Amino acid sequence: MVGQQAALDMLYTGRRVSGTEALELGLCDRLVPAAEVVTTAGALAAEIAASAPLAVRAIRKTMRADLVERVRLATVREHQEQRVLRATDDYDEGVRSYAERRPARFTAR
């Protein structure tokens, strides 16, 4: 969704993104104050509902055609990687350092 470079940046660093950056990256459609979320969402839903329903369904079907399969494959792959990584010294160090609220000292083992 955000492109490989932005995705790798977030995955490698684990950093959080601000609402403004999420909007710039395309992770969200709009950025509104918390007090306006329900009103804005309702207005967007009403705008979509006013569109031609068959066209909206066709667009949604086209845009999401292979999404479920891609997510399934990515989830299987991620589960395999996590199983391997949980058996490493670095995993144990990451858990310990988080619990101790200190920077981790990874050794690539």
Question: Do 58 and 70 fall within a single domain?
Answer: no
Q: What is the DSSP string of 50-109?
A: TS-HHHHHHHHHHHTTTHHHHHHHHHHHHHHHHHHHTTSHHHHHHHHHHHTTS-------
Tens of pLDDT, residue by residue over 55-72, are 999 999 998 888 889 999
pLDDT the model gives residue 68: 87
pTM of the predicted structure, to 2 decimals: 0.62
| Number of domains within the chain | 3
List Cβ neighbours of 98 (8 Å cut-off, separation of 6 or more): 104
Question: Do 94 and 75 fall within a single domain?
Answer: yes
pLDDT the model gives residue 90: 97
Question: Do 78 and 104 fall within a single domain?
Answer: yes
Q: Which residues of the chain have pLDDT under 50?
A: none
Looking at the chain, the whole-number percentage of residues with pLDDT higher than 70 is: 100
Enclosing domain of residue 57: 35-64
